[in-house]
Structure 1
Amino acid sequence: MDYSKLSDQEINKLVAFALGCKEVVPDIFMDDVRRYEFDKPKNKSGNKFYFDPCNNPADAWPIISKHQISMCAYERANSGMKRESWWEADVFADFITRDDNPLRAAMIAFLKMQESANVPANSTGSDIR
């Protein structure tokens, strides 16, 4: 899946589902531990159920830590070239993801890792890893 084409909200939802969240009734998402909401709170007091790991370190860090996702900032400023900077996230050099937002990059790396875990080793069904 090309996660770069998805909105933060779509990625947040996929991350929640990968963590075990299920839609119990329309627009109510829960797992054994918490309730998840994906629409931005309309007031300053916020919403204690709002889940936004693409932008909120409090939501992202437990995932980053548990799955040992590393993040690194890069900058390229070669003479004659446009100055660029970006973040990359990976899991032991696999699932490398580049994005301007480090938390979003980490969540995409997490989703790629989950995707890979759900793919059989080969099409014959035998696992030769």
Structure 2
Amino acid sequence: MNKYRDKSDFEINKAVVIALGKVIGIRPDSNIIYLIGGDELIEFNPCNNPADAMPIINEYGISLIYQEGEFQFATNDGNIECSISNPLKAAMIIFLMMKDAENEKV
């Protein structure tokens, strides 16, 4: 399907933060990504934390499609779709695919 489908949550989270151009720190003894803001470290986990994912989903017009009471797929106006069991991770994969498409146009 795409190069992101088999990536771990950590790998997707890291790719998202890099695509966003945020300064990051990674705790050496774990797979935790931090946004660095002033004197504060803020954990960043958009694949599993709606507070991290929803601003990206809203800004980039990503839709999470539910049918018959369960998540079906994520999309951006039908041009790119991703169907995996974690809807937030699916949305982050859509975001990364959108960024890839932008970079190909340049």
The question of a shared fold, defined as TM-score above 0.5 by the shorter chain, is answered with yes
Gaps of 5+ in 2: 34-39
Q: Distance in 2 between matches of 1:65 and 1:10?
A: 22
CA displacement at 1:49 relative to structure 2: 1.3
After TM superposition, what 4+ stretches of structure 1 lie above 4 angstroms from structure 2? none
Q: Distance in 2 between matches of 1:7 and 1:15?
A: 12
Q: Deviations over 1:38-73 (max 9, x none)?
A: 518xxxxxx951100000000000000000100112
Q: Deviations over 1:63-114 (max 9, x none)?
A: 0000010011246xxxxxxxxx643111110111111011011000000000
- From the CA coordinates, give the structure whose radius of gyration is larger: 1
Letter in 1 for 2:62: I
CA contact 1:54–1:107 (8 Å) conserved in 2: yes
Letter in 1 for 2:72: W
Q: TM-score, normalised by structure 1?
A: 0.64
Q: Does 1:99 align with 2:84?
A: yes
Q: TM-score, normalised by structure 2?
A: 0.77
Structure 1 residue aligned with 2:53? 60
Gaps of 5+ in 1: 30-36, 41-46, 76-84, 122-129
Q: Does 1:113 align with 2:106?
A: no
By percentage of residues, which structure has more helix?
A: 2
* Aligned pairs (5 A) from 1:43-58: 49-58=42-51
Q: Does 1:5 align with 2:19?
A: no
Q: Percent of aligned pairs with the same residue?
A: 40
Q: Distance in 1 between matches of 2:60 and 2:105?
A: 20
Higher relative contact order (CA 8 A, sep 6+): 2
